[in-house]
Every structure is written in C-alpha cells, then in structure tokens.
C-alpha cells in the first residue's frame, strides 16, 4: 500500500481523482495555488503525455503494469478499443461493488471481494478481477450483511439508489446488485482518455 505522501505526489502529476485521500477541497485548493498544469512540464513530449494518461488509468483501477497491459492487448481485437477496455475494467467485480455503492472506494471494494464478503449468482468469490456479464447478480454474503462494512447501506439507501449508474440496479435493503447491461464509454462514465493510453501501447 502506498504511503499518503507518495499518493499526494502521484496525484499532483495525474490528478486528484485517482485516490480517495486526494479527493478533498484542501487538495484542490493546494493545486490551484501552485498552478501546475496536469500532465507534466510545459512542452512535454507526446510520450510523456501518453505515459501520464496510462499511469492515471492504472492508479484509478489499482492495477499492476502487467495487468493493464494484458487488458489493453485483449481490447485490440475489438472494433472500438476505448469501449472494449472501459467495459473490461468496469465489469470487474471490484469495480461493480464500488460503482453500486457497496464500498466507498475501489480499494475498499477490492478488499471486500478478496475477503470473501461478495457472492456472484449465489456463489462466494475472492477474485476482484472476475468479469461480470449482463444478467449476473452480485450480493453481499449473508454472513457479512451485519458487518459494519455495510452499515451505510441502510443509512444512505435513497442516495445510493440515485447515484448508481444506469447499467446497474441496486437493492440496498437486500444488498444485491443486478447487471442490466454494459457501461458505455463517455465523459459521463470516466475522465480517462483511452485513446491516449492506446497510443502509449502502440509505440
């Protein structure tokens, strides 16, 4: 796990949205005062721009270099590279747990899955990278429902239901999520520029 100071340094280069600790007003004000353009120094090369976008994607989803490279390789067979990569990343179990509001951060979602708190179609899973598909049902394991990890579901159920993306359906009372479709790549879904990421891998 990266120390807090390291996360702040990385976020100053890649943007505050990649870590929960840097998604604060204090960090935003600090960035405004320094007035450093995101993406590196003035006159940065195309390579540097591509590298920073690739790193932004990697840290956003908490992936290792090899993992992201493998995802990009698989996406190359699709007609729409950006849509394919976005779908693969968002349809991971840990991503769906986070996007449905079962976890406050992607890191927390990954830990919930790894520790066996989540089931897929009734079967317990401990693999955060497992890819879901339309029609799958994800749920909090019966034995984990009383855990403090999920206490916010009863307190904030109305707000959660409104914020869940359209391709997911959340039942906060039963702590279940239904995959209704696939995420569509666009500004409303992500700030990542996948085209720039593929430019990096095509060098």
155 pLDDT higher than 80:
no
Percent of the chain's residues with pLDDT above 70: 74
Q: What is the pLDDT of residue 148?
A: 86
- Does 138 fall in a domain? yes
* Number of domains into which the chain is organized: 1
- Model pTM score: 0.77
3-state DSSP assignment of residue 191? coil
Residue 113 or residue 189, greater confidence: 113
- Does 76 fall in a domain? no
What is the mean pLDDT of the segment spanning 137-141?
A: 97
68 pLDDT higher than 70:
yes
- Does 96 fall in a domain? yes
- Does 107 fall in a domain? yes
Q: Tell me the H-state helices in 16-129.
A: 25-34, 46-61, 65-75, 81-90, 93-99, 106-114
Q: What is the pLDDT of residue 2?
A: 52
H or E segment to which residue 168 belongs: strand 168-171
- Does 48 fall in a domain? no
- Does 126 fall in a domain? yes
Residue 139 or residue 190, greater confidence: 139
For the chain, give the mean pLDDT: 83
What digits encode the pLDDT tens for the residues 40-56? 444 468 999 999 999 99
- Domain interval for residue 157: 91-179
Which CATH number covers residue 167? 3.10.290.10
What is the mean pLDDT of the segment spanning 180-196?
A: 91
Cα gap 102→158, rounded to integer Å: 13
- Does 36 fall in a domain? no
What digits encode the pLDDT tens for the residues 4-48? 456 556 655 555 555 555 544 444 445 445 545 444 444 468 999
Q: Give the tokens for residue 108.
A: 């927390």
- Does 196 fall in a domain? no
């Amino acid at each position: 796990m990266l120390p807090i100071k390291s996360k702040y340094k990385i976020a100053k280069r890649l943007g505050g949205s990649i870590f929960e600790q840097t998604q604060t007003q204090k960090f935003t004000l600090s960035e405004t005062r320094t007035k450093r353009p995101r993406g590196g120094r003035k006159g940065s090369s195309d390579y540097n721009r591509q590298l920073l976008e690739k790193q932004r994607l990697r840290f956003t989803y908490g992936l290792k270099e090899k993992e992201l490279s493998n995802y990009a390789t698989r996406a190359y067979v699709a007609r729409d590279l950006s849509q394919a990569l976005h779908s693969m990343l968002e349809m991971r179990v840990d991503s769906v747990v986070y996007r449905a509001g079962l976890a406050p951060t992607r890191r927390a979602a990954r830990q919930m899955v790894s520790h066996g708190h989540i089931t897929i179609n009734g079967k317990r899973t401990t693999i955060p990278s497992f890819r879901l598909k339309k029609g799958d049902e994800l749920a909090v394991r019966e034995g984990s429902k009383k855990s403090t990890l999920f206490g916010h579901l009863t307190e904030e159920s109305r707000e959660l239901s409104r914020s869940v993306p359209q391709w997911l359906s959340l039942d906060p009372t039963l702590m279940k999520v239904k995959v209704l479709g696939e995420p569509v790549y666009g500004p409303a879904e992500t700030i990542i520029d996948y085209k720039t990421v593929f430019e990096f891998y095509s060098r």
